[in-house]
């Protein structure tokens, strides 16, 4: 089994994250962690069909669908950077927008 190859990785815990950016960076650097967790769950017979996706949908509010025009070069850059982090480009763009809005609010001295 993959997780048994390295006792250190098998015993590692997922940390609590202060920001979404911190979490994104951690997952990008620790992609084997999720594979190890799946292998462990599979070995214990604890994998459920669609469980993670269903729980994620239940825990998040629905996002409205919008249309935004972007230069093709920016879209290509976003796709490349998102792929390097193992994210879909839409998720990556939402993350960037969220970070930029937080930064602007902080700069302006207000928070929502």
Residue 23 has pLDDT above 60, yes or no: yes
Residue 4 has pLDDT above 50, yes or no: no
Mean pLDDT of 26-30: 82
Residue 73 has pLDDT above 90, yes or no: yes
Residue 85 has pLDDT above 80, yes or no: yes
pTM of the model: 0.46
State the Cα–Cα distance between residues 105 and 86, nearest whole angstrom. Answer: 28
Mean pLDDT of 102-108: 90
CATH code of the region 64-112: 1.10.1220
Q: How many CA atoms lie within 13 A of 60 on its CB side?
A: 9
Which sequence spans correspond to the domains of the chain? 1-62, 64-112
What confidence category does residue 100 fall into, taking pLDDT thresholds of 50, 70 and 90?
very high
């Amino acid at each position: 089994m993959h997780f048994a190859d390295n006792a250190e990785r098998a015993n590692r815990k997922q940390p609590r994250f202060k920001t979404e950016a911190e979490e994104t960076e951690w997952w990008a650097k620790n992609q084997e962690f999720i594979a190890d967790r799946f292998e462990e769950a599979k070995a214990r017979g604890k994998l459920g069909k669609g469980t993670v996706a269903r729980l994620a949908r239940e825990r998040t509010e629905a996002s409205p669908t919008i249309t935004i025009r972007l230069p093709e070069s920016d879209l290509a850059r976003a796709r490349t950077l998102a792929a390097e982090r193992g994210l879909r480009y839409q998720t990556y763009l939402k993350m960037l927008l969220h970070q930029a809005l937080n930064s602007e609010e902080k700069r302006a001295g207000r928070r929502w």
